[in-house]
Amino acid sequence: MTVALLQGCASTPPPPPPETAQPELRWPWLAPPARPAEPVAVLEASKLPPFDGERREVNEPLRGIQKVDGATHQKDLWARLRTGFAMPDLDNALVRRKTREYAASAEYLQRMFERSRIYLYHIVEEIEKRGLPTELALLPMVESAFNPMAYSRAQASGLWQFVPGTGKRFELKQNSWYDGRRDIVDSTEAALHYLTALHNRYGDWHLALASYNWGENAVARAVAKNRKAGKRTDYSSLRMPAETRNYVPKLQALKNIISEPSKYGVELAPIPNERYFTTVLTGRAELDVALAARLAEMRVQDFKALNPGFSHTLVRSPKHLRIVLPSEKVAVFHENLARHDRGQSASAGATRSPKVNAPRVHRVEPGDTLSAIALRYRVRLADLKRWNPGVEVLQIGQGIHLADR
């Protein structure tokens, strides 16, 4: 898949450019800790008597999320996304205007949707794990137009537009080698953590979104001011900057279009409802970007699109270096990396002799794959498969032969 990343939105047609600038967000509070639960005795299911009571189907959805029927979204991620829409709709003149503006900017929408293709499945998965409304998966469209390299005047960066201070509060590392605010996996986890905490504070998604954009202290002061004056304290009733006033309407406008694209004359190309990328531990402390892309048999620009957190052509980590690759490229990356390592040793005049006590059988451990085992013992994946014919699904404790029998 070809991925074109735009640096900022300078070349983007004016209507409607995402407003990525954010004021500094504050984090002076934490949700009140839950009371410790009483110890619960664990019962073994095998020892319980058979159930003979009345059986009833529970239809109430979890935390406002609609009941998901897997058959309805097996192929198209957009359909799965719609199923999880659960925020109250906002309907006013500003929402209708933003909807018209987006719909009239077909080229801008298509570029944004195309960039989202490689990231959206992961974001939807993480949202569903937390029982959150899937409208949140559209927030990077408002924040950054799904450009992980977007950088605002307020120094906000990444898909979710974290400013430096807030990024540090959510343990997004930032140094000369790496910026976690741009890392797809880390920044998504941080953003959903933050949005969950904001919703826990207000019990209202519109106020939570306003806080994400404007700052939770600013929203808290606006709510307190309205309450003191005997006024309503919902999103539409608060006084706020123009950027924040437009923020939720933009999200609602995108929701409207994605819910009924044909109604607005928008073509929504299907996105496969399957995992696009996988995180990979390389087993080393540093790796050249061009080499990593070549080992994965992919273009450098596509590798960078999945690993935008790295700031140099040489990626480095104090621990085991983690990279992100298309799921279909993981096996070939490990095989080519093992071959590359063997070639380096041969070119240096070195020979790698097996240790005297080297095992001839590896016992499968949690998280093992054939590719990872091949990399660990410096053997070719093809050889490992030949030595273990018929082995496809690994079982914990299973013996994997490391040489011909």
Task: Give the three-state DSSP class for 112.
Answer: helix
Has 126 been annotated as catalytic? no
Phi, psi of 323 (to 5 degrees): -125, 170
Q: Answer whether residue 158 shows pLDDT above 90.
A: yes
Cα angle vertex 129, ends 191, 279, to 5°? 70
Gyration radius of the chain over CA positions: 25
Reported as a pLDDT band with limits 50, 70 and 90, residue 41 is very low
Averaged pLDDT, 146-169: 96
Distances (CA, A) of 242 to 312, 343, 360: 37, 60, 67
pLDDT digits (tens, 9 = 90+) for 275-296: 999 999 888 888 889 899 999 9
Cα angle vertex 12, ends 11, 14, to 5°? 120
pLDDT at 72: 44
Reported as a pLDDT band with limits 50, 70 and 90, residue 271 is very high
pLDDT at 379: 79
pLDDT at 345: 54
Terminal CA-CA length for the chain: 41
Q: Answer whether residue 356 shows pLDDT above 60.
A: no
Long-range contacts formed by 376-379: CB under 8 A, 24+ apart: 376/283, 377/402, 378/338, 378/341, 378/342, 378/352, 379/338
Residues 6+ apart with CB under 8 A from 24: 154, 163, 165, 166, 215
Range of weakest confidence among 3-12, 119-128, 251-260, 336-345: 3-12
pLDDT at 94: 97
pLDDT digits (tens, 9 = 90+) for 165-215: 999 999 999 998 899 999 999 999 999 999 999 999 999 999 999 999 999
Q: What percent of the chain has pLDDT over 90?
A: 59
Catalytic residue among 143, 189, 328, 392: 143
